[in-house]
């Protein structure tokens, strides 16, 4: 059985509860980062200025951000061949890795170009992240329950089943639908508590460009769904539904000189969710997330660029 490595007496498996818990069911990637003068154009051969291999993946980055923001988080997902360092990174940051599933498939990875202005272009290969078995999904989700939080991105397979089972368990579900593709149409957004998107994903999922119109479109389709839209240098805006009222807040971006924007969105997401699960106000959640993301873009790399909470203070 693929589950033999999981000890049957662990609380994550038996459902033994000790208060609210956070599960990030997400990806693990090796990031092959190439610093370039400019992004490669069609038909062009370009010499890279430097190359580095770093831990990443939206799932791993967001787990690290949650942990560095002070949250207790468990990471579930598939650990592929060559990905042992990724488990070590999670362990070093205090993330619970007891539910990771080793598989034979090559570890998921990205090829990232970073230009002289710090902007990035990312090519993603799913690999092990697209090998999540249904049986494993059921085994993991049944260990969580009412009031627990589930964090998802779109770098693994099985999102429709994961959201269906998690909703049945009474979990709060947050989806960052990145990268956006047609498979997301199979995921029932009515089951979600929060949708976290950047401005490109917001347009892809709603057909609208302006944040207010994005919200109106999504709220009309999914009345209980809350939405956060990150807008790069223009900040972020959120719309929280609940109790018949809509809470709205707009947060300005912190102005810094960017070195590498690779993990900015994941840093924001991790800090924002950490704030939500801790019961902070919407304004406080967005302010802390914005400051954390601003620090992250002044540093190279993905997971390694994410700040600890004490750095915000």
User: Mind spelling out the 3-state secondary structure of 3-57?
Assistant: CCCCCCCCHHHHCCCCCCCEEEECCCEEEEEEECCCCCCCCCCCCCCEEEEEEEC
**How far is it, in rounded angstroms, from Cα 124 to Cα 114?**
15
Instruction: Give the strand pairing for 29-35 and 109-114.
Output: parallel
* Burial of 259: CB neighbours in 10 Å, binned 0-12, 13-18, 19+: middle
Q: For 287, how many CA atoms within 13 A lie in the half-sphere containing its CB?
A: 7
| Whether residue 52 lies in the annotated active site | no
* pLDDT of amino acid 243: 76
Asked if the model's pLDDT at residue 19 lies above 90, the reply is no
pLDDT at 18: 55
- Section 142-151 average pLDDT: 98
Chain segment 179-223, per-residue pLDDT in tens: 898 889 999 999 999 999 999 999 999 999 999 999 999 999 999
Rg of the chain taking only CA atoms, in angstroms: 19
- CA angle, corner 159, sides to 304 and 131, nearest 5? 70
Find the catalytic residue in 115, 148, 266, 313.
Answer: 266
* Helix or strand (DSSP H, E) at 67: helix 58-68
| Domain layout of the chain by residue ranges | 13-28+57-106+129-312
Helix (H) or strand (E) holding 165: helix 159-168
Q: For residues 10 and 276, give the distance between their C-alpha atoms in angstroms, rounded to a whole number.
A: 26
pLDDT band at 77 (very low <50, low <70, confident <90, very high): very high
Given a cut of 60, is residue 2 above it in pLDDT? no
What is the pLDDT at residue 242? 84
Superfamily of domain 13-28+57-106+129-312: Ribokinase (3.40.1190.20)
* Mean pLDDT score, 31-59: 94
- What the block records as the tokens of 305 is 């660029």
């Amino acid at each position: 059985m693929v589950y033999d490595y999981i000890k049957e007496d662990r609380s994550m498996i038996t459902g033994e509860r000790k208060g609210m818990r956070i599960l990030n069911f997400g990806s693990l990637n090796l990031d092959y980062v190439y610093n370039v003068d400019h992004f490669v154009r069609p038909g062009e051969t370009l010499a890279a200025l430097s190359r580095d291999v770093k831990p990443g993946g939206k799932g791993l980055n967001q787990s690290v951000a949650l942990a560095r923001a002070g949250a207790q988080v468990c990471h579930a997902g598939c650990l592929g061949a060559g990905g042992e360092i990724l488990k070590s990174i999670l362990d070093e940051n205090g993330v619970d890795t007891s539910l990771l599933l080793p598989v034979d498939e090559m570890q998921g990875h990205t090829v990232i170009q970073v230009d002289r202005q710090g902007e990035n272009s990312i090519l993603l290969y799913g690999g092990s992240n697209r090998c999540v078995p249904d049986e494993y999904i059921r085994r993991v989700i049944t260990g969580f329950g009412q009031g627990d939080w589930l964090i998802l991105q779109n770098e693994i397979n099985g999102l429709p089943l994961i959201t269906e089972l998690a909703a049945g368990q009474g979990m709060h579900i947050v989806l960052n639908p990145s990268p956006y593709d047609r498979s997301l149409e199979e995921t029932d957004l009515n089951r979600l508590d929060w949708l976290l998107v950047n401005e490109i994903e917001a347009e892809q999922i709603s057909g609208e460009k302006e944040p207010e119109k994005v919200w109106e479109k999504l709220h009309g389709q999914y009345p209980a769904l809350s939405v956060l839209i990150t807008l790069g240098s223009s900040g972020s805006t959120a719309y929280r539904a609940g109790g018949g009222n809509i809470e709205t807040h707009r947060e300005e971006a912190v102005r810094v000189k960017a070195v590498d924007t690779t993990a900015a969105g994941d840093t924001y997401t991790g800090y924002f969710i950490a704030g939500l699960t801790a019961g902070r106000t919407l304004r406080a959640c967005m302010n802390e997330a914005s400051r954390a993301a601003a620090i992250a873009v002044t540093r190279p790399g993905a997971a390694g660029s994410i700040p600890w909470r004490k750095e915000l203070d």
